[in-house]
Structures are given as C-alpha cells and as structure tokens.
C-alpha cells in the first residue's frame, strides 16, 4: 500500500531518535531520498513510496537503528565539494575534516601549481577535494591499509591525484618529493586505545581510529615525515583529538615547525594543529 513519504520519514525519524542517532530527521530524509533516487532537497516533490520502496526504506532504517553508519547505507560520504564511495574497510570522512580542506586551500593560495601531500588518505576524500578546489595542484595521497587503498583507488581514478601505497612513518616514503612540497595535510588515527566511541565508529577499521595508549603513536613520526617533505616555509595541518592540542603542538615544534597554532572546529573544540616548516 502506498503511504505518504512524509509519514514514512516522520516514523523513521522517531525510531532513529529513540535509537540515539544524533541527527534522526536528517538521516531519515537522506535514507528516503536514497531509496527514491532523488536529492534530499527534492524529497518534498518526490512520489510517495510504493510497497517495494517502503520495504527497502524499512530495511535501511532498521540498520540505522542498529547504528550502522549512514554513509555505509547510502554508499557515499561528502567532504566539501566532493562525494566519495565508502563502505566496510575504510574510515568514513567526518565533517570536521573540512577544517583540513580549508587550511590546505588557504595555505596553497597564491602558489601556482602547488604541490600538496595528503598523508593517511583513507578513502581519498580529502585529496580529491583539494584537487577539485585547485585543479592546477599536483596532489599526492598516501595510504598503507589494503582495504582503504581499494576504496581510494576507486575514488581517485581519473582525478589526477597520485596515490602511493606506503607507510607514512617510513623515512623512504615519497623520497623523491623531499624538500619540494608546499602543503602537507593529514587526518591520521589519533584516538587513545580503550577510549569509548560511538557505535558508528565501531564500523571503521580499528587501525584508522586508534593509535596507541596516548593516541599519538602515528602523529609523532608523521610530523617528521611532513617536515622532510616540505620546503622551507611550507605548511602542515594535522587533525587531532580535542585532548591533544598541547601535545601535538609540541610534536610539531620538535619536528622543526614554527608558528605552530591550534585551530578550533565549529563547536569550539581544538581539533587541528598547523605550522610552518622552519627556514634553516
């Protein structure tokens, strides 16, 4: 039996709210739009769900009630100007990472054909967003995990971004770019082991989220890699846990960066450190 889409969405939103989903109405609308094959902004003009569509929506809502990530259910995630494919085996891009995108674009402003490196690229979303914002840039992306690499290859195909399978803590990684990169960005794993996380995060690969007892196991050597790659005066931006503001500033300063500062997200939480490669 055909039921009004608005009724289905309202019912789904109520269920998701009861399940503790952070944005139940938005998620319900996005799931309905996905089933109907229309943008969320056009949902009000979409036809009502027939029995088949209603059954598919019901199945998706049940999975979201169980706190499976919305992005897995719709098979995509948005970061700035781009949408990338995501699913099991790769970290789902978060809105907070748009801070890194904004910093990369700002740092490359005024540089013709900037050379940018995205360390721990995961799905490739950040690298693709940078390349989209600056089509003249030479963008490199680095990822080690085979599962994430498969998603990155899919998302970066035909984009011009140069994807390298490598360990960001290895001194040999991107050796041919040493001292000639303008901007390095990174969203590495940074959550301390044992930290309680939301049910959605449990669907991300463990190694893409957690980084040792203090959460800094990757950021330390990554800072050394960034310093090695950057030219004098080049800029680095690293996303971190809100409890790490002081520690990450100290890590960057120890790696040879000056003018190190912490950036806050829209909620006022310290979530990113930036710095300039010291001029020797």
Judged by phi (left if over 0) then psi (alpha if -120 to 50, else beta), residue 174 lies in left
Q: Which residue has the higher pLDDT, 52 or 85?
A: 85
Among 104, 224, 127, which residue's Cα sits nearest to residue 172?
A: 224
pLDDT score at 14: 96
Q: Summarize pLDDT for 166-176 with one digit per residue, the tens.
A: 999 999 999 99
Dist. CA 96–CA 25, nearest whole Å: 21
Q: Summarize pLDDT for 195-227 with one digit per residue, the tens.
A: 989 999 999 999 999 999 999 999 999 999 999
End-to-end CA distance of the chain: 73
The full DSSP string for the chain is --B-HHHHHHHHHHHHHHTT-SSHHHHHHHHHHHHHTS-GGGGGGSPPB-HHHHHHHHHHHHHHHTT--HHHHHTEEEETTEEEE--TTSPPP-GGGHHHHHHHHHHHTT-SS-EEEEES-TTSHHHHHHHHH-TTSEEEEEE--HHHHHHHHHHHTTS--EEEE--TT-TTTTGGGTT-EEEEEE----BPTT----TTGGGS-HHHHB-TTTS-TTHHHHHHHHHHHEEEEEEEEEE--GGGHHHHHHHHHHTTEEEEEEEE-TTS-EEEEEEEEPP-
Q: Summarize pLDDT for 53-95 with one digit per residue, the tens.
A: 999 999 999 999 999 999 999 999 999 999 999 999 999 999 8
Q: Summarize pLDDT for 240-256 with one digit per residue, the tens.
A: 999 999 999 999 999 99
pLDDT score at 279: 79
Q: What average pLDDT does the chain have?
A: 94
pLDDT score at 233: 97
């Amino acid at each position: 039996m055909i039921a009004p889409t608005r009724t289905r969405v309202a019912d789904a939103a109520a269920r998701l709210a009861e399940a503790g989903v952070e944005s139940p109405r938005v998620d319900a609308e996005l799931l309905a739009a996905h089933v109907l094959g229309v943008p969320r902004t056009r949902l009000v003009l979409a036809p009502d769900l027939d029995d088949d569509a209603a059954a598919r929506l019901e199945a998706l809502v049940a999975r979201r009630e169980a706190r499976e990530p919305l992005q897995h259910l719709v098979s995509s995630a948005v970061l700035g100007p781009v949408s990338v494919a995501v699913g099991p085996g790769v970290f789902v891009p978060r809105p907070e990472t748009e801070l890194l995108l904004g910093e990369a674009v700002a740092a490359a402003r005024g540089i013709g054909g900037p050379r940018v490196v995205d360390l721990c690229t995961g799905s490739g979303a950040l690298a693709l967003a940078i390349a989209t914002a600056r089509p003249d840039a030479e963008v490199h992306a680095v990822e080690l995990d085979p599962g994430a690499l498969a998603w990155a290859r899919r998302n970066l195909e035909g984009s011009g971004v140069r994807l390298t399978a490598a360990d960001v803590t290895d001194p040999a990684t991107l050796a041919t770019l040493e001292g000639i990169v303008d901007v390095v960005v990174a969203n590495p794993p940074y959550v301390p082991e044992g930290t309680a996380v939301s049910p959605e995060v449990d669907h991300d690969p463990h190694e893409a989220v957690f980084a040792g007892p203090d959460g800094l196991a990757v950021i330390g050597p990554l800072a050394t890699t960034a310093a090695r790659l950057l030219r004098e005066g080049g800029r680095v931006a690293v996303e971190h846990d809100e409890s790490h503001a002081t520690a990450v500033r100290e890590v960057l300063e120890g790696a040879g960066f000056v003018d190190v500062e912490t950036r806050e997200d829209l909620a006022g939480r310290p979530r990113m450190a930036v710095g300039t490669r010291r001029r020797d």
